[in-house]
A and B are shown apart, each in its own frame.
Chain A
């Protein structure tokens, strides 16, 4: 009981309530990508729930061993969705990670990174510096875009062979400022690009903007929004997660928008659902509630308002990968497919288990690179089975992870964001040269 005395009583209450639902049936074992790749009982939720139970019962401390095992979860929510008893496995794992982080302190490298995330300007400056430093630390990949680390930094998750995309030198927001406002927009939306579209795949961010504008929607990226906070919160740094959430809610509530559009399942699920848990301050939570109903993934938003821009041909055989947080976090699986099917010349070939995790798991791929690669290999095998030349997905972390795997395997596949395919189709109809994808 020594340990639980150091965990907030309401947290212990939530653990007990969740555990009371767990009948240890092991259904989670049959869907867990980590268990499949490693065979470790502690990989799946049932093992993790047993460890939380041991802590509650005073059989186990919040040990480093437990922390290490809890880090081996992709938070893909496959177990949460499959659990016949409704155990909120994802929330319990995050909450245990928070307690473990408090007890054992996060690995130093990550702590520094998350502290940086709290201060948007510092973070942006850091990344900008990163973009410059990248040239020093990384060498260009011999066969195409992206860079390979010059020095292997396994502790930072930068495996020697790993493909890390180049960082943009200017954030998306700066690029947006140069666009003239639409004369008679159908709607005005706040676009929440998230870190990945701002920094790593700005071309996908621009595709979202082009796509929305072509359909008569005016996107605005509010000045003060920053990281959604998911990487920090899910790693157990609840304080940083809460700070970022509060800042974003304040920034998004300041203007009046018809919708908040995201193009990343993790950001979207955080804004639409998880902030209810993340936000500490009741007033902020109130403000968030009004906002949460307006959050839409770009594909569901477009499916809802309908495409008005004509679509031109994109003669490609593609397959669609369901990002965990888009499919199970936001419940968006049909909309991207429905939109892709409207593109002339495009063939959508479904892979086996399209909603199975690709192994990226946010920071998981940094801390458990080899394991995350192994899980990714199964995804890429399923992709290969479709004969598609292009993988379309709605999450840039999945994209980065799959692109890395494709390179490791020496395959010729490309991965793009759904918005890029649609923007390319719009461009084709407008007679413009397709810029991306």
Chain B
């Protein structure tokens, strides 16, 4: 029996204890940070690039789908093994191979946790800026595969801006080096960038060389309250027009402020339409000058109140509202679905208002917060996943949200990726030509369609291997 052969060969390749077949373990690998589930038939955790390549070759020989997986903190269903097959867990590849201080580079395996990598760089006197809110759980491999961003994106850019080179296992099992570990500029097209954001559909990243930068010498934080949303948006534009690029410019809408105040009782105004949290970094002199500019611009645009942190405790106090959003939303309704949509900066107020409309139309609770500086917002639907009717209304609201973002000249995904959750809307964003191009690239690299099937460009395509019922597998007797 082919399946038994495969199982035996996999055990030989990575060690029997790294091949899981029990239904309990398969269930634990059936999802990411979304509510989409699909049972893998097997969970395989290779311990080296060579083992990854061996697993990929075996999967190819047996025509078994393969879904790479980091920490499964993804928010678009990327790591869900939609067509069953092998859940390829990369968390054992968790070594920081080098922090090269002189060359300002880090070389890491894909399973290293983002925050651990950033901490190692910091300890070496350097700085890794991308800071997804999930940094304590997400892996660097997952960040590369999703091109993760974070609050600091406005000034420092996203994961893409820090990838110099990658080692990848291609769908046929060959191992390739793409990019250039010295300066990121390889010969010919920038193949590494093709892999960044490819969500495990084109290759499996097994080693990453990251660019690091110098540590900022000083940092300042401020929180401003605006009676009117439009004033807050104007303040953002005025700040950037003044030539100030904050590291962070986080917007919280009125609904978010009310939810947080009901939870924290911290004296946040419940009648304001928006709050902006600003962080600046750089040399001490420059930061002070910029802080004055920001304060002035905000007040000129009608800020009701601007608080500047004078101590580390103050910084914590100002961040408290932002950090409490999740817990506060949990008080309103148990289940929080976090979306992301990016619109041009000038359209931020329009999207926030649109979200209010959508929430009313579908009778769901929604709040909006996110990175106002680059228009990457996180509208959140507060629902109850134990209530099917409410979940249906939430789904409908999310559909309208994507449509609204596209209509405002925006994009489906600021940073959470496409996966299977946003794939149904992908063609509306890319158009027929864009879809054809994407499918062509996918087919060229993965003609058998075994790598993360059902995601992005292969969404809705027929499964390569016959799908199995949950609980029923061909791999093992028990």
Contact = CB atoms under 8 A, between A and B. Distances in A.
Interface in B325-347: 326-327, 330, 334-338
Nearest to B69: A41
B25 interface: yes
B23 A30 contact: no
B35 A59 contact: no
Given A19-B386, A30-B113, A50 B31 contact: yes
B140 interface: no
B30 interface: yes
Contacts of A86: 327, 330
A50 B72 CA distance: 13
B470 interface: yes
B326 A84 contact: yes
Contact of A65 (B23, B29, B72, B89): B23
B136 A27 contact: yes
B23 A23 contact: no
Contacts of A85: 326-327, 330, 334, 336
Given A39-B45, A65-B22, A86-B330, A24 B34 contact: yes
Nearest to A59: B470
Contacts of B327: 84-86
Contacts of B385: 19-20
A54 interface: yes
Given A41-B25, A65-B23, A85-B336, A23 B386 contact: no
A25 B92 contact: no
A59 B91 contact: no
B306 interface: no
Contacts of B27: 50-51, 54, 59-60
A42 interface: yes
B134 interface: yes
A20 B28 contact: no
Interface string A3-32: 000000000000011011101111101100
A317 interface: no
Contacts of B29: 41
Contact of A21 (B23, B113, B335): B335
Nearest to A28: B137
* Residue with the greatest number of chain A CB neighbours at <10 A, chosen from B25, B30, B32: B25
B31 to A, nearest CB: 6
A25 B33 CA distance: 5
Nearest to A15: B386
Given A24-B35, A50-B31, A29 B137 contact: yes
Nearest to B25: A42
Interface string B314-334: 000000000000110010001
A65 B24 contact: yes
A21 B330 contact: yes
B440 interface: no
A66 B24 contact: yes
Interface residues of A, number: 30
B139 to A, nearest CB: 11
A226 to B, nearest CB: 36
B336 A23 contact: yes
A17 B24 contact: no
Label chain B's interface by main secondary structure: loop
B25 A26 contact: no
B163 interface: no
Given A50-B28, A85-B330, A29 B71 contact: yes
A159 interface: no
A142 to B, nearest CB: 35
B470 A42 contact: no
A69 interface: yes
Nearest to B333: A20
A342 interface: no
Contacts of A69: 24
Interface string B1-32: 00000000000000000000011110111111
A370 to B, nearest CB: 14
Interface in B57-87: 71-73
Contacts of A63: 23-24
A47 interface: yes
Interface in A216-258: none
B28 A41 contact: yes
B137 A30 contact: yes
Given A16-B386, A21-B334, A26 B24 contact: no
B387 to A, nearest CB: 8
B33 A51 contact: no
A47 B23 CA distance: 12
Given A20-B386, A50-B28, A60-B24, A30 B136 contact: yes
B471 interface: yes
Contacts of A25: 33, 73, 134, 137
B73 A26 contact: yes
B70 to A, nearest CB: 10
A50 B40 CA distance: 14
B32 A42 contact: no
Nearest to B72: A26
A385 to B, nearest CB: 14
7 contacts: A23-B336, A24-B31, A25-B134, A30-B137, A39-B45, A41-B89, A50-B30
A-B pairs, 5 with minimum CB distance: A84-B326, A47-B28, A41-B28, A20-B334, A30-B136
Interface of B: 22-25, 27-35, 45, 71-73, 89, 91-92, 113, 115, 134, 136-137, 326-327, 330, 334-338, 384-386, 470-471
Given A24-B31, A30-B115, 20 more contacts: A17-B334, A20-B334, A23-B337, A26-B33, A26-B137, A29-B137, A39-B45, A39-B91, A39-B92, A41-B29, A41-B89, A42-B25, A42-B28, A47-B28, A60-B23, A60-B24, A63-B24, A65-B23, A65-B24, A69-B24
